[in-house]
Every structure is written in structure tokens, then in C-alpha cells.
Structure 1
Amino acid sequence: MSTKSPTRSRPAAGRRTSANDAKSRRAQAAAAEESRKRRRELLLWGAVLTAVAALIAAMMWSARETSDTTARPAPDFTLTDTSGATVKLADFRGKNVVLYFNEGAGCQSCILQMADIERNAAAFTAADITVLPIVMNSAEQIKADMARNGVRTPFLLDDGTVSAAYGTLGKGMHEGLPGHSFVLIDAQGTQRWYGEYPSMYLSSADLLDQVREHLP
């Protein structure tokens, strides 16, 4: 009586299934790694393009810098500052003054500009220059930004009248606010120089160079 040998097809099939499963997992892992690689490349290119766009924008804004050296009587004004004091331009007759118009609260570059001027206070004193920052904010709004950045110089609070009188209103990024600008007024009360900086920054050294160049 003959007997048939037991079949071994099932274990072989199991091995083939396991091999196929392992191959499938390797393919999935390779696909996932390729997907991650593409995402990294896209993020890198996105960062590069963003940096290039920012550089181009900065160059375009810098190219729009304007300067006016027409001598004219400086419009007088009386404003209240963040310390509650009343400040009159006429009180500075006999001294050289730089008015620093800026967008104020919410503009980090504007506050850092004043912080840089404060760090170089000795150089401005040596050049006989008093810097008066002017913003269109409430005292509470601008004082909060001053405190966060350690700025101590009182800001003059304008309702737009002074900014308009000096031609800086609407020259920045916001139509209803002053642009990032400086006005040099000599000891006789004559405006000697106006500089507009859409790049939102002018180093203290460059500002002092402009002052020295345009004072009589």
C-alpha cells in the first residue's frame, strides 16, 4: 500500500509572502524617504526665494531714499511728549535739532533706530545735536514699545499736523502715518536737510555725517 509524501508547498508559499512583504516595506520606506527629501528641498528653495525676495524688496526701498537740502524756515510746533512735558521747537533756538519722524508703536525698526541713537548719545552731544522723535500714537501705545526695547528718550505725540507740515506724512509704508525720516534744523531755526529712508534704518554714524555735511 503506497503513501504520498506530505506536501511542502505551504511553507514555501509562506516564505514567498514574507519576502514580498519585506520587499513592499522597503519600497514604502524608500518612497517615504524620497518624499521627505523632496519636502526638504522644497523648504530649502522656499527659504532661498524668500531671502532673495526680501533682499530685492530692501534694495527697492533703499533706492527710494530721498533727500532735500532746500533751506527754509522750520515750521514751529508745540507738542506733548510721553513724559507729559510740553515741548516747543522755539525752545531749542540756539541749538541744532534733528526731528526723527517714524511710524511708532508696532514698528520695531523705528524703536530700534532710537535705541541706536541713544547708544551713540555721546557722539550726538559732541556734535551739538538734540534728537526729537515724533510719532502719531498715544502715550500708552508708544511707551509700551519703549519699555520693551529699553528706550528712554521721550517721544513727541503728534496728531498728524506736524508730520504733514514737514512733508513726511504718508511717505512710509502706511498712508496715514509719517515715513521714516529726519529733519535737520540749525540753531537759527532754519531747516537744512530732510532725509527719507524707506529701508527703515539709518545708522547713527551716517545720520551724523548728514548733519555735519548740511550744517552751515
Structure 2
Amino acid sequence: MTYPETGKKAPAFSLPDQNRNTVSLADYLGKNVVVYFYPKASTPGCTVQACGIRDYKRVFEKLNTVVLGISPDAPQRLINFTEKQDLNFTLLADEDHAVAEAYGVWGEKKFMGRVFDGIHRTTFIVDADGILRQVMDKVKTKTHHEDVARYIEENL
């Protein structure tokens, strides 16, 4: 897996959100954007990660930052996840995993003796000019929101 290069424009994308509206990275020029890839909605680790982001919404707003979560889930599954966890940020459906591939996060995984292709939990921080500034590939779901906010506070 090869990630996009930091210091260059982040790969553009347009995907449907949980309400089936098309959302593009370019929609957020002028704001910092956290693009985080997670394996599957409503699983334990992904829920912990999403709820941390939900609870940090005001912190991210003060940092001129929006958060976009991307998974291979269908929009209907994202609606259920959003409603069940009272999420207050945008989730995007990358069902054909084309965006995950463009960001280098789609690949072979091993879990409970099984080998399969899927998303590797990774976060990309894009600045207000659309430049990729940071790749976080060692994501801790419990502290992800704090780690991301700290990076933005210190560097953007």
C-alpha cells in the first residue's frame, strides 16, 4: 500500500454520504479536513472511534476542521450507524473502495485466521488549501479524536 504524498494536493473524491447526497473533498476548501477510513460501521472499534469524534465536534469547529469518515458500507448502513450513535458528522460510502484504493488503504488483512481484502484504519489530515499534511496509520480508536485535534492545533 502506498499513501498519497504529504505536501501535495490530496486525491480528489466525490462520494455519497449517509443521506445519499454527493460530498466532495473540494467542497471544504478553506477548512481543514480530517479524512478517516474505517473498516465497518457499527463494529466495536469503529463505534468507539466515531463516538470520540462526535464528542469532539466543538473542538474541531474551533480548529476550522470538518471530519469525513469513509468506509465501504452502503448509505443505508451509514444511516443506521449515524442514528444509533447520534453521530454529528459526515460519513461517506465507498462501496467499490475506489477512494480507499486511491488513498492506499485498501489491501490484504488478517483477522481470526482469515485473510481478506479490506480497509486499513488510517487517517489523513488535509489543510485548508487541500494539501495533504499528515498520514496517521497507527490509529488508536480510543484516542483518535484527541490525537487528530492535537496535530491540527500544533501544525495547522
TM-score, scaled to structure 2 = 0.82
Contact preservation (8 Å) 1:179, 1:198: no
Using the TM superposition, give the Cα deviation of residue 168 of structure 1 relative to its aligned residue in structure 2, in angstroms.
1.3
Aligned pairs, number: 149
Using the TM superposition, give the Cα deviation of residue 69 of structure 1 relative to its aligned residue in structure 2, in angstroms.
7.8
| Counterpart selection for 1:91 from 21, 27, 32 | 27
Q: Report the equivalent of 1:213.
A: 154
Contact preservation (8 Å) 2:15, 2:92: yes
Structure 2 unmatched ranges of 5 or more? none
Q: Report the equivalent of 2:103.
A: 166
User: CA offsets, 1:81-123, max 9 Å, x none?
Assistant: 0112111111111111010110123522112211111111111
Q: Report the equivalent of 1:120.
A: 56
1:73 aligns with 2:9: yes
Contact preservation (8 Å) 1:103, 1:110: yes
Contact preservation (8 Å) 2:14, 2:22: yes
Q: Report the equivalent of 1:16.
A: none
Query: CA–CA distance in 1 between the matches of 2:32 and 2:39?
Result: 23
- Name the amino acid aligned to 2:67: V
Higher helix fraction (1 or 2): 1
Q: Report the equivalent of 1:103.
A: 39
- Name the amino acid aligned to 1:178: I
Query: CA–CA distance in 2 between the matches of 1:98 and 1:172?
Result: 23
- Considering only CA atoms, is the larger Rg found in Structure 1 or Structure 2? 1
| Counterpart selection for 1:143 from 73, 79, 87 | 79
1:182 aligns with 2:123: yes
Instruction: Give secondary structure in 2 for the equivalent of 1:177.
Output: strand
RMSD: 2.4
Q: Report the equivalent of 1:11.
A: none
Using the TM superposition, give the Cα deviation of residue 198 of structure 1 relative to its aligned residue in structure 2, in angstroms.
5.5
- Name the amino acid aligned to 2:51: A
Query: CA–CA distance in 1 between the matches of 2:79 and 2:136?
Result: 25
- Name the amino acid aligned to 2:21: A
Instruction: Give secondary structure in 2 for the equivalent of 1:208.
Output: helix
Higher strand fraction (1 or 2): 2
User: CA offsets, 1:32-88, max 9 Å, x none?
Assistant: xxxxxxxxxxxxxxxxxxxxxxxxxxxxxxxxxxx9983221010111101121111
| Counterpart selection for 1:129 from 59, 65, 68 | 65
Using the TM superposition, give the Cα deviation of residue 137 of structure 1 relative to its aligned residue in structure 2, in angstroms.
0.8
- Name the amino acid aligned to 1:169: W
1:193 aligns with 2:138: no
TM-score, scaled to structure 1 = 0.61
Instruction: Give secondary structure in 1 for the equivalent of 2:107.
Output: coil
Most deviating of 137-146 and 125-134? 137-146
